[in-house]
Structure 1
Amino acid sequence: MTTAPPPLLSAQDLHVTFPGRHGAAPARAVDGVELDIGAGEIVALVGESGCGKTTLARTLLGLVPPTSGRVSFAGKPLEYSSRALKAYRRRVQLVLQDPSGSLNPRHTVYDAVAEGLRIHGYGGDERSAVAQALSRAGLRPPERFFLRYPHELSGGQRQRVVIAGALVLEPELIVADEPVASLDASVRGEILALLLRLRTELGLSALVVTHDLGLAWNIADRVAVMYLGRIVETGAVEQVLTAPRHPYTQALLSVLPDAPGTPVLLTGDPPDPSRIPSGCRFHARCQILTNGEAERAGVAEACRGRELEVLGGGGERQVACHWARATV
């Protein structure tokens, strides 16, 4: 009997807590997360602003050490010495949402892409490596872009330069934080198609952090929906986005342009990681509790008072919701 290979990247019972300011309660930005990303898999991490998804992504990159729990890569726990993190960041690269902020306006495209090679003491042919990375990112012929500056490029071209800067070290996984949020709609499809092509050609894995469920639908194999520091629903993208079971996922989907029915307007206070409620952490804003469906299903008290367990990090369909489980 063959055993399945370990996930390429894995978070196990991950917690990240920041101290409160001026005597305020600590902020539990990541509050118990299990998340696996397999080799060649694209996972979308979805949620509204303030849900903890960027903190989780930074922790997976080793930029923020966890308060407890651990991050593993290729089956080995991540170490936080300078040497270990430098080696890790050759294998896992970050792509930020704002290419203008990611690129030094005084550096040419060549220098921007070559920076990672120089930091890591690359011993090969630098010019060839830069040209190959630019070509893979869709900037061809690459030599035509070597001496250009960021202000001479379009937004889509700048994002391709950022992607080339990540690719030049030949990583196994990229973490893309809102990779198309600052781009025109006409360019977004090109960048998404590029990420999918890189997965096909290079076997690249990706974690795509986004608030946009439409983007997740177009690019991801699997989706993890995050609310107030935890994954509340996860599974194959087709399962979750065609038949969402968690009320929060339903609300996020309801405001997409082509969504059927009436958009769900969430009431109550926005999520505050320093004031996590008892019971289901979404219950204070939950439309299912407000409209009486949870009461009719006999789970209203559980919603308000019984906390749900942390979901597993694998690929199976899971939901952290008393009502969804009662009405299967």
Structure 2
Amino acid sequence: MTPAPLIEARDLHVEFAARGRRARAVDGVNLTVGEGEIVALVGESGCGKTTLARTLLGLERPASGTVLYGGAPLAYTTRALKAYRREVQLVPQDPTGSLNPRHTVYEAVAEGPRIHGLLGEAERVAAALARAGLRPPERFAGAYPHELSGGQRQRVVIAGALALDPRVLVADEPVASLDASVRGEILALLLRLRDELGLSALVVTHDLGLAWNIADRVAVMYLGRIVESGPVEQVLSAPSHPYTQALLSVLPDSPSPVVLGGEPPDPTRIPDGCRFHPRCPALAGGKAAGAGVDGACVSQSPPVLPASAESRAACHYAAALRAGN
């Protein structure tokens, strides 16, 4: 049964000025995060993942489209955003950079409750530290960031979010800066928080292996748009889009890595047709021509994917294969 949407991006577009042109960082995205659901947003650096996450947090305003929370459009007044950000909390990529080296762990975790004027500060901080796996909390409360390991610092950042009793965590590459031995512990913590507190999460990552281990659904992003999405087992065990296939092929147990040529195109100059076609192995290798869709690949943009629990891909070649079956 599909969980009710808690956060939704509806036909979202975000643009920035760049060298006299407009960079379409997010270019027509539909995405939902349901109650108690973990969604992984994956793709290469520069594909728009972080901009989309910041827009869902209310840190960027869309050029068009809507962010909805609990079915209501997000309002951009100071009061409305303050209330919203108590419910939807960011877990940043770099815990060292996000923690003030002059503040103790207690002060770092207490900052949010103080901003929001919440009562019972000491109890909130202790409970948040314990939930984040820093037990006993009094052992860590007086420590400074430089006295902690990388994994402990990430737990402090998570505790700072938990101190506000949020409903959603937006985690931007939450384990990218950690040692491999610690990554599993942080991922297990996020899963436990979902199970114990009913938290939802959007996890932004370039690592499909991480998505496989933690997510219920996955959305693959390329050059500002979702190109494949669906239940994580379906998408990652049988990917339809050549871009998803290429990302999966670099995992350690993949039999034949796919090397994509070049870098993602400039978002100020999005190619005609399918935006992936200049790097597409199916087009370059003749498979798209064999399916009779090579002309469409270079001239027609695939339809924007809807926010759906079903597995979908924005790809002419994948659509031709499905139709053939």
TM band (smaller chain) = over 0.9
The structure 1 segments of at least 4 consecutive aligned residues displaced by more than 4 Å after TM superposition are 3-6
Q: Quick one: which amino acid aligns to residue 182 of structure 1?
A: S
Aligned pair partner of 1:111 in 107, 112, 122: 107
Q: In 2, Cα distance between the equivalents of 1:318 and 1:226?
A: 13
State the Cα distance separating 1:308 from its structure 2 match. 1.1
Aligned pair partner of 2:260 in 266, 279, 284: 266
Give yes or no for contact 1:6–1:75 (8 Å, CA) kept in 2.
no
Q: TM-score scaled to structure 2, two decimals? A: 0.98
After superposition, the C-alpha distances for 1:165-207 in whole angstroms (9 at most, x for unaligned) are 0000000000000000000000000000000000000000000
Q: In 2, Cα distance between the equivalents of 1:4 and 1:316?
A: 10
State the Cα distance separating 1:314 from its structure 2 match. 2.1
Matched residue, 2:71 = 75
After superposition, the C-alpha distances for 1:97-142 in whole angstroms (9 at most, x for unaligned) are 11100100000000000000011111x2111100000000000000
Give yes or no for contact 1:51–1:271 (8 Å, CA) kept in 2.
no
- Cα RMSD, aligned residues only: 1.1
Q: Quick one: which amino acid aligns to residue 66 of structure 1?
A: P
After superposition, the C-alpha distances for 1:225-282 in whole angstroms (9 at most, x for unaligned) are 000000000000000000000000000000111112x211111342311110001000
Moved more, 157-166 or 4-13: 4-13
Unaligned runs of 5+ in 2: none
Matches within 5 A, 1:204-283: 204-260=199-255, 262-283=256-277
Q: In 2, Cα distance between the equivalents of 1:176 and 1:5?
A: 20
Aligned pair partner of 1:299 in 262, 272, 293: 293
Unaligned runs of 5+ in 1: none
Q: Quick one: which amino acid aligns to residue 18 of structure 1?
A: F
Q: In 1, Cα distance between the equivalents of 2:179 and 2:199?
A: 25
Give yes or no for contact 2:4–2:35 (8 Å, CA) kept in 1.
no
Task: Please tell me whether residue 311 in structure 1 is matched to residue 305 in structure 2.
Answer: yes
Task: Please tell me whether residue 155 in structure 1 is matched to residue 150 in structure 2.
Answer: yes
Q: Quick one: which amino acid aligns to residue 270 of structure 2?
A: I
Secondary structure of the structure 2 residue equivalent to 1:327: helix
Secondary structure of the structure 1 residue equivalent to 2:5: coil
Task: Please tell me whether residue 17 in structure 1 is matched to residue 15 in structure 2.
Answer: yes
Matched residue, 2:117 = 121
Q: Quick one: which amino acid aligns to residue 33 of structure 1?
A: V
Identity %: 73
Q: Quick one: which amino acid aligns to residue 103 of structure 1?
A: L
Q: In 1, Cα distance between the equivalents of 2:149 and 2:249?
A: 33
Give yes or no for contact 1:50–1:272 (8 Å, CA) kept in 2.
no
Secondary structure of the structure 2 residue equivalent to 1:259: coil
Secondary structure of the structure 2 residue equivalent to 1:232: strand
Matched residue, 2:34 = 38
Give yes or no for contact 1:48–1:211 (8 Å, CA) kept in 2.
yes
Number of positions where the alignment pairs a residue of Structure 1 with one of Structure 2: 322
Secondary structure of the structure 2 residue equivalent to 1:87: helix
State the Cα distance separating 1:291 from its structure 2 match. 0.5
Q: In 2, Cα distance between the equivalents of 1:198 and 1:4?
A: 20
Secondary structure of the structure 1 residue equivalent to 2:187: helix
Q: In 1, Cα distance between the equivalents of 2:299 and 2:194?
A: 43
Q: In 2, Cα distance between the equivalents of 1:95 and 1:205?
A: 13
Matched residue, 1:183 = 178
Pick closer, same or farther for the CA change 1:83–1:7 going to 2, 3 Å. Answer: same
State the Cα distance separating 1:4 from its structure 2 match. 7.8
Task: Please tell me whether residue 47 in structure 1 is matched to residue 40 in structure 2.
Answer: no
After superposition, the C-alpha distances for 1:273-309 in whole angstroms (9 at most, x for unaligned) are 1110001000000000011000000000000001111
Q: TM-score scaled to structure 1, two decimals? A: 0.97
